[in-house]
Amino acid sequence: MTTDARSGRQHIRLVLLRAAGATYRKSSRLAAPRSILLIRPDHLGDMLFLTPGLHALRQALPAARITLLGGPWGVEAVRHNPDLNAIETCVFPGFERQPKESGLAPYRLLSATGRVLRGADYDAAVILRFDHWWGAWLAAAAGIPRRIGYDWPETRSFLTQALPYRSDRHEVEQNATLLAAPRTGYRCRPGSDTLSCH
């Protein structure tokens, strides 16, 4: 595939993702969440990077129910983590390291998983990978009113709080900053530094 063709496909995908994201309700509610879903599709190393921020979240919100939705390839890294109440698995498209069965399979999985998550009554979701538009869309499809993630073109339209992603920071620090949002209630403008969020 040529660079122009790839660029054209990316542009079309971005337009379609923005249109899909615009159909979901945006909530301005900033009360401390009671039930939080963390979405982390990555493998073992990235899952371990989550643990310091997760511990800080638990310390700040000791009564909250915190559930991790991870891939079956990564959840063993946090299986016995005392800061989690529950772990659920999802075979996230693009992370399973197998060929796709069809172009529609990721969207069928998104719809089915969204229906399951809707019944769990989460009031906040944190999408912990900067470019994970599928996870951001999943949180919106599940009807989770507060959706926190990184201010990235593909994910932005599905979120209610978008924090800046800084490629010069270690992933441990990125996760800790993102996981501070549910406990602080920060509202961040696109492109703002976390210190100026309010």
Mean pLDDT of the chain: 85
How far apart (Å, rounded) are the C-alpha atoms in residues 79 and 47?
Answer: 11
Residue pLDDT, tens place only, 143-177 = 999 999 999 999 999 999 999 998 899 999 999 98
Residue pLDDT, tens place only, 102-133 = 788 999 999 999 999 999 999 999 999 999 99
**DSSP collapsed to 3 states, 160-187:** CEEECCCCCCCHHHHHHHHHHHHHHCCC
Residue pLDDT, tens place only, 86-106 = 999 999 998 877 777 778 899
Helices (H), the chain: 3-21, 44-49, 51-60, 105-118, 133-141, 171-184
Instruction: Please check whether residue 117 is in contact with residue 142, taking contact to mean a CB–CB distance below 8 angstroms.
Output: yes
Instruction: Please check whether residue 134 is in contact with residue 100, taking contact to mean a CB–CB distance below 8 angstroms.
Output: no
pLDDT classification of 182: cutoffs 50, 70, 90:
confident
Q: Would you state the pLDDT for residue 18?
A: 73
Look up tokens 């999802």; give the residue. Answer: 90
* Backbone conformation region of residue 185, classed left if phi is above 0, alpha if psi is from -120 to 50, else beta: left
Taking each helix axis from N to C end, the angle separating 133-141 and 3-21, rounded to the nearest 10 degrees, works out to: 20
How far apart (Å, rounded) are the C-alpha atoms in residues 60 and 71?
Answer: 26
Distances from the Cα of 191 to the Cα of 67, 81, 166, 187, angstroms = 29, 33, 10, 12
> What is the dotted CATH code of the domain comprising 34-196?
3.40.50.2000
What average pLDDT score do residues 58-66 get? 94
Give pTM, 2 decimals: 0.83
Residue 140 buriedness (CB in 10 A; 0-12 / 13-18 / 19+): buried
Helices (H), 27-132: 44-49, 51-60, 105-118
How far apart (Å, rounded) are the C-alpha atoms in residues 117 and 119?
Answer: 5
